[in-house]
Amino acid sequence: MDIRHLTLAPLALVAVVGIAPSASAAPAPTPAPVIPAPDRPCGQPAVDPVYESIQHPAVTETVPAVTRDEWRWTRTVDVVERAYARVVTAASGTVHWTRAVDVLERAFATTVIDRAHVAGTPEVGHHETRVVTPAMTQTFWEYVQQSNGKTRWEVEGWNAGDGGKGWSWTGRTDVREITPAVTTQVWVVDHPAVAEVTELSHVETTWVLDGATPPAGATATGATRVASTSTDTRDLAPGVVPDGAGWVEGAYTETTPAVVDTIWVRDGDPVAAGYDATGATRPGTPDVETTSDTSALPPAGDGWTAVAESLVVVEVIAARVVEISPAWVEDFILVPGLPATPACAESEGSGEEPGTDPGTDPGTDPGTDPGTDPGTDPGTDPVVPAEGGDDGEVIGEVEVGPAGDVAPAVATPAAAVLPATGGPVDPWLVALGFGSVVAGAVTLRVSARAARR
């Protein structure tokens, strides 16, 4: 853990000690009742209050320096070289001339029969009767009367079968048509008709060289075409034209090459007189550019890279100590002061203090034992309230000795009040807060030394 984090504990403790009393501050508690005591004797000097102070050191933080990295930069710049040439000896050659010679063909037509003509024949057939809906039939049985031998035809199972009421089946049956069949006449083709076949033919064209014999039966159409073309050529010296029409000048062919001096010049460099640019280029030896000064960013342009081992660290803002909160002093009243009492007036004639009874001790009340305070136990010193707070608030008690001298004030909970808080602080909390401040200051110093290392 960073030692600087340890400073949070003492600072938090100081905050608790300094803030808790004010946070818990409420209306000042009513002082405990004080036993009445006689007023301070006359002629007593003023008692100065006793103050206590706590020195709170300033809270600081070391801000590290702000730096940046810088390098020297380098890049490689491509170089282009251009070709320049000068003719030492001119070249020599010939010009190629050509012309086309056409071969003519003539067209002849011939008719070719693809399918011969065939005559057609009619259809041959007969009519047939076909049943559309079959006839509905029913089978009848022949029955005979056993008593008189009479017979009759009835459906199967009539009269409860054999032995029923004297009728019995003879074994004969008869199938009778109930509903006649529905028929139709249908034409049946015995020999189908044969359609007439027409003749099909096409014309073939034959190309014959002009002047050659055409095929037999062929008829000339009058059309012609160029069957082929032959090329006639001539190679002549420059400026010479061949005889005849249709010649086309062709390319120049160098027979003896020229002697040319070619040089390569860096782009932008001067060129010697007599040399002309050829348009050819080639990459030259690249140039290397390197910056002499360091910088965090490369110069303008492309291709810059940092030079190895050229890194330097530049301090932009130096390290500094920043004061988070200033040092301050906390004062509080440890013992309140007392005002001086009026001067004593001398008694005239008797030399006794006015208001006293002869035979009694000055400062005592008749009827009480000498040296005692009414309402108090004998043998105790008189106690009077000590005023010194806001609006005459009682903040302590002062003991008065037998001779009227004032003993130092005894601090009460209301006498150890931080300024303007109105809440009591125990002495042990004050000591604990002071020790926490000292511990925080030591921790901050150790943290600062560790940060510098």
* Boundaries of every domain in the chain: 3-63+326-446, 66-76+294-318, 121-191
- What is the token pair recorded at 340? 């001086």
Q: Nearest 5°: phi and psi at 341?
A: -95, 160
What pLDDT, on the 0 to 100 scale, is given for residue 36?
40
pLDDT lower than 50: segments of the chain: 1-38, 348-424
Q: Provide the sign of the torsion angle of the four alpha carbons 42, 45, 46, 50, taken in this order.
A: negative
Taking the chain, what is the end-to-end CA distance rounded to the nearest angstrom? Answer: 16
Q: Nearest 5°: phi and psi at 427?
A: -60, -35
Q: Check: pTM over 0.75? Answer yes or no.
A: no
What pLDDT, on the 0 to 100 scale, is given for residue 164?
57
- Of residues 437, 424, 439, 420, the one with CA closest to residue 20: 424
Q: Which residues pair with 157 in a beta bridge?
A: none
Kindly state the greatest CA–CA separation across the chain: 203
Give the integer Cα–Cα distance in Å for 435 and 418.
18
Question: Inter-axis angle of helices 427-452 and 8-23, to 10 degrees?
Answer: 150
Asked if 274 and 86 count as a contact pair (C-beta separation under 8 A), the reply is yes
Give the integer Cα–Cα distance in Å for 110 and 217.
7
Give the integer Cα–Cα distance in Å for 120 and 196.
4
